[in-house]
Structure 1
């Protein structure tokens, strides 16, 4: 029986991962930057310009949104540490997307490197 770790390792062997430093260029060249973490994780902080599509809804959201249906889109994905993003990248590859990259180390590596993080503004009730 395969474990989650086995599935992630298999996915990582088939998808293109980019380092945090390479990610900056990949993001500039991307048509879409996708955070595949859960909504509460995204709300605490995310990469600037990222859209939130949780891993569990990825295939459905890409299939339903005409703006995301071109198989030539340049897509960059990330999650917390890169496991879910690798699984998501593999799923998109299996759907026929040709230009999918995953950020090695995910959000944690990005933040640890001192890269910019977007945080939602807390509403003021004054």
Structure 2
């Protein structure tokens, strides 16, 4: 009898331990992407900071496209005509990039991701 109780207690503890290891990423925002994945995926990098911030240093190959210019479909389509292309957005901290990603998604762009801020970008910056 004592062995059955002990075995039951062990099984309960093990089952609780395994459920604690369940995937913790299920609730993450689908509009974000890890920086390493972004670096590998980059088709179009859009820097949504101001022109002055862009001039101070930006990710190689990035295009300056300040958040304030994302107003309507017509103005965005002049710069980004393909609404199915990958658009990877960043700013200084990630806040403006998330806002821009939301606005572009509302305008029909389907592959838009924010990968955060330039302050944590570990791959170096360039100046034009």
* TM-score normalised by the chain length of structure 2: 0.70
Change (3 A) 1:21 1:14: closer
2:100 aligned with 1:100? no
Q: Which one scores higher on RCO, CA 8 angstroms, separation ≥ 6?
A: 1
Partners of 1:47 and 1:20 in 2: CA distance? 12
Larger radius of gyration: 2
TM-score using structure 1 length: 0.71
Please list every run of 5 or more consecutive structure 1 residues that lacks an aligned counterpart in the other structure: 1-12, 121-126
CA distance in 2, matches of 1:71, 1:14: 21
Residues 15, 102 of structure 1: 8 Å contact kept? no
Identify if the C-alpha distance between structure 1 residues 58 and 108 changes in structure 2 by more than 3 Å, giving closer, same or farther.
same
Aligned to 1:70: 82
User: Which of 65, 81, 89 is equivalent to 2:101?
Assistant: 89
* Residue 124 (structure 2) pairs with residue 116 (structure 1): yes
1:69-101 C-alpha deviation (Å, 9 max, x unpaired): 222111111000100000000000000100001
Q: Unpaired runs of 5+ in structure 2?
A: 1-27
- Aligned residue pairs total 99
Structure-1 separation of matches of 2:35 and 2:78: 30
